[in-house]
Amino acid sequence: MYLNRALKSVWDEQTRKPDEIILIEDGPLGNDLSAVIEKWKMCLGSSIFVILSNNVNMGLTKSLNKGIEYVHSEYVARMDSDDISDPLRFEKQVAYLEKHPEVDVVGGALQEFNEANDCLNIRHYPQTPEESRNYILKASPLAHPTVMIRRRVFDSGIRYNEKYRTCQDVALWFELIAKGYKIANIPDITIYFRRDDSVFSRRKSKKNIWNEFRIYMCGIYSLQGLFTWKYIYPISRLVFRLMPAFIIKWVYGSKLRKGLLQ
């Protein structure tokens, strides 16, 4: 069961235990998932394992904002229910934020895997705020499941933009950078990301493609203004997204993608 493995990775296996785990049930769940959640509730107690239930499916963006309202700890980490956190993830990210008080969001490297292969690919992200500011014009400077964010960011009133059901993370990174917040990454693997063909089918959704295009165009405008050649990046991304799925899948896992983003 993916959820059980994910929870095990953020509690049993972490060298630095979280102060609390906030789990959002986004709509009605099946018996198997409910049994896993009940097991962890009995194990950790309701003060540590906080369960928020949506009567209907609200989507990721609204669910994230709902969860933020219940956070008490200084740092907010997130991950998806089918991924696995590295045992040293929280320890390393907390240590980084304590050493770099000027940084507001820290991510890390991501290792992709599936049922047949433990390591399909390792994706690294820009390590410094300056590199992140330049990189976001081309692609996301953070892997969303890897991030740890200071609560002060959300205490200022910033939230995920609920008009975006997808790519809400990129919209948030653009907003943070535009407002002077600092984004960085550690070089170490923080998340083991489960990758299957559904990743590519979701990316091929016309609604997701145009949503992503708007976010990048608006984000570049907020950072670079109207008169910049940097709009070529989201335009090129749009053309790529409209290609057949097998081409996208090939480029996604190839060295070509890494070269284009350097």
Residues 159-217: tens digit of each pLDDT: 999 999 999 999 999 999 999 999 999 999 999 999 875 554 555 577 789 999 999 99
Show the CA angle centred on residue 199, arms to residues 198 and 202, nearest 5°.
Answer: 80
Q: What confidence score (pLDDT) does residue 234 get?
A: 94
Q: Span 2-260: which CATH code?
A: 3.90.550.10
Overall pTM > 0.85 = yes
Residues 205-235: tens digit of each pLDDT: 777 899 999 999 999 999 999 999 999 999 9
Contact between 85 and 190 under an 8 Å Cβ cutoff? The reply is yes
Distance separating alpha carbons of residues 79 and 58, to the nearest angstrom: 17
Q: What confidence score (pLDDT) does residue 233 get?
A: 94
Contact between 141 and 135 under an 8 Å Cβ cutoff? The reply is yes
Burial of 21 (0-12, 13-18, 19+ CB in 10 A): middle
Contact between 140 and 111 under an 8 Å Cβ cutoff? The reply is no
Name 216's Cβ contacts closer than 8 Å, sequence gap at least 6: 170, 233, 234, 237
Name 117's Cβ contacts closer than 8 Å, sequence gap at least 6: none
Distance separating alpha carbons of residues 115 and 105, to the nearest angstrom: 31
Residues 60-77: tens digit of each pLDDT: 999 999 999 999 999 999
What is the SS3 assignment for 98?
helix
Residues 2-54: tens digit of each pLDDT: 999 999 999 999 999 999 999 999 999 999 999 999 999 999 999 999 999 99
- Backbone phi and psi for residue 187, each to the nearest 5 degrees, phi listed first: -80, -15
Q: Is a pLDDT exceeding 90 seen at residue 241?
A: no
Distance separating alpha carbons of residues 64 and 193, to the nearest angstrom: 19
Q: What confidence score (pLDDT) does residue 112 get?
A: 95
Please report, as a single letter, which amino acid is at residue 218: C
Q: How far is CA 76 from CA 20, 46, 91, 256, in A?
A: 10, 18, 13, 34
254 pLDDT tier (thresholds 50, 70, 90): low
Rounded to 10°, the helix 232-241/245-252 angle is 120
Q: What confidence score (pLDDT) does residue 198 get?
A: 56
Strands 21-26, 49-54: pairing is parallel
Domain boundaries, the chain: 2-260
Contact between 80 and 63 under an 8 Å Cβ cutoff? The reply is no
